[in-house]
């Protein structure tokens, strides 16, 4: 592959301060001007659709259509008609000829979302179309050329895909890291989501956003901000407007690689806050005596 051309518009599309994301964008930059099929992996809500759109709209086929095929939502018995199209009279409801999605994507990009949900039979048919670079409408004879970049995505393991299909659609793999592994991107994403409607996010609220585990990734962050914008009466988002994030605190501490002392200090501080500095009660909850609690409080500089 020749050296990658610079695509500054890509960096506007996906803004990041994270090293793995930067490496990912470098890979994307290399494929934009070439007909390389791309496979996008990542948890739900990390931005797989968003990346598919970035690849299409920054790439050489940007003037042509981007057609999304949701492989998990289309029933298996309708799938062929949906992607290959059909001729009039092929089945009872076929009152007129209809172009399929592969035909609509001609010259552009076809995005197979949740591609791992395709049945073995459909995988075989899709593979044939990719290998032959052509297909026919159901009930038709005319060979229609299949000319589109293929982008596919999955949030689960790819074992359910046959190898020869995987080999075709997975020339380059992009694995998008979960949001909790790129926390440095949370502030700018959050600010981007509030930008149009609100002026800011206060420090305490930002701290909450930084610490949450985000199992739903960027989608969850976006929803949390949308909701906060509605609930917050002033022009700054405060913790009150955020959902009460309940996740396993130990899991989240481990992900952030806290030391035992950090964890202990945080826990003591929180128990003191909840007992309104009732030291006897806090010591009882913590299972230590009052003297030990006071020592730890001093050690950790808890007010």
Binding site for ligand ATP (CB under 6 A): 14, 42, 44-50, 155, 218-219, 222
* 247 Cβ contact list (under 8 Å, min separation 6): 212, 213, 215
Residues 25-54 that bind Mg ion (CB under 5 A): 48-49
Asked whether 28 and 160 are in contact (CB, 8 A), the reply is: no
Q: Which does 42 bind (CB under 5 to 8 A by kind): Mg ion, ligand ATP, none?
A: ligand ATP
Q: How far is the CB of 113 from Mg ion (least distance, A)?
A: 5
Nearer to Mg ion, 112 or 135 (CB): 112
Q: Which does 47 bind (CB under 5 to 8 A by kind): ligand ATP, Mg ion, none?
A: ligand ATP
Q: How far is the CB of 42 from ligand ATP (least distance, A)?
A: 6
What's the burial of 84, exposed, middle or buried (CB within 10 Å: 0-12/13-18/19+)?
buried
Q: How far is the CB of 65 from ligand ATP (least distance, A)?
A: 18
What count of other Cβ atoms lies within 10 Å of the Cβ of residue 18?
16
Q: How far is the CB of 141 from ligand ATP (least distance, A)?
A: 37
Nearer to ligand ATP, 100 or 177 (CB): 177
Asked whether 176 and 168 are in contact (CB, 8 A), the reply is: no
Residue nearest to ligand ATP (CB): 47
Nearer to ligand ATP, 226 or 270 (CB): 226
Query: How far, in Å, are 2, 14, 17, 211, 264 from residue 283 at the CA level?
Result: 66, 48, 42, 26, 13
* 116 Cβ contact list (under 8 Å, min separation 6): 71, 154, 156, 157, 158, 160, 161
Q: Which does 45 bind (CB under 5 to 8 A by kind): ligand ATP, Mg ion, none?
A: ligand ATP
Q: Which does 292 bind (CB under 5 to 8 A by kind): ligand ATP, Mg ion, none?
A: none
Query: How far, in Å, are 45, 70, 176, 226 from residue 242 at the CA level?
Result: 19, 32, 26, 10
Question: What φ, ψ does residue 18 adopt, rounded to 5°?
Answer: -95, 135
Nearer to Mg ion, 48 or 61 (CB): 48
Q: How far is the CB of 223 from ligand ATP (least distance, A)?
A: 9
Q: How far is the CB of 50 from ligand ATP (least distance, A)?
A: 4
Nearer to ligand ATP, 52 or 166 (CB): 52
| CA angle at 111 for the pair 108 and 87, rounded to the nearest 5° | 75
What the block records as the tokens of 56 is 């299409």
Q: Which does 218 bind (CB under 5 to 8 A by kind): Mg ion, ligand ATP, none?
A: ligand ATP
Q: Which does 219 bind (CB under 5 to 8 A by kind): ligand ATP, Mg ion, none?
A: ligand ATP
Nearer to ligand ATP, 40 or 126 (CB): 40
Nearer to ligand ATP, 81 or 224 (CB): 224
Q: What is the CA radius of gyration of the chain?
A: 26
Asked whether 184 and 9 are in contact (CB, 8 A), the reply is: no
Consecutive H or E run containing 87: none
Q: Where does this chain bind Mg ion (CB under 5 A)? A: 48-49
């Amino acid at each position: 592959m020749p050296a990658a051309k610079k695509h500054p518009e890509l960096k506007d599309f996906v803004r990041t301060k994270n090293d793995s994301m930067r490496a990912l964008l470098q890979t994307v930059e290399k494929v934009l001007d070439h007909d390389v099929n791309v496979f996008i992996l990542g948890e739900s809500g990390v931005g797989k659709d968003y990346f598919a759109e970035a690849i299409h709209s920054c790439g050489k086929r940007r003037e042509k259509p981007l057609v999304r095929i949701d492989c998990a939502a289309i029933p298996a018995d309708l799938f062929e008609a949906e992607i290959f199209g059909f001729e009039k009279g092929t089945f009872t409801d076929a009152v007129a000829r209809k172009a399929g999605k592969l035909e609509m994507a001609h010259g552009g990009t076809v995005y197979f979302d949740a591609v791992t949900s395709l049945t073995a039979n459909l995988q075989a048919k899709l593979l044939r179309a990719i290998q032959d670079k052509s297909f026919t409408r159901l009930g038709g004879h005319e060979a229609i050329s299949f000319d589109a970049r293929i982008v596919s995505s999955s949030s689960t393991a790819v074992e359910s895909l046959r190898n020869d299909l995987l080999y075709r659609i997975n020339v380059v793999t992009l694995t998008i890291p979960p949001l909790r592994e790129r926390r440095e991107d949370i502030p700018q994403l959050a600010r981007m989501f509030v930008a149009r409607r609100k002026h800011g996010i206060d420090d305490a609220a930002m701290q909450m956003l930084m610490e949450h585990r985000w199992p739903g990734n960027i989608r969850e962050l976006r929803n949390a901000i949308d909701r906060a914008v509605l609930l917050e009466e002033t022009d700054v988002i405060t913790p009150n407007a955020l959902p009460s994030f309940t996740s396993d605190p130990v899991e989240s501490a481990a992900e952030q690689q806290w030391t035992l002392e950090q964890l202990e200090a945080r826990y003591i501080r929180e128990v003191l806050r909840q007992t309104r500095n009732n030291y006897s009660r806090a010591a009882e909850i913590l299972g230590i005596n009052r003297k030990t609690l006071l020592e730890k409080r001093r050690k950790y500089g808890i007010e």
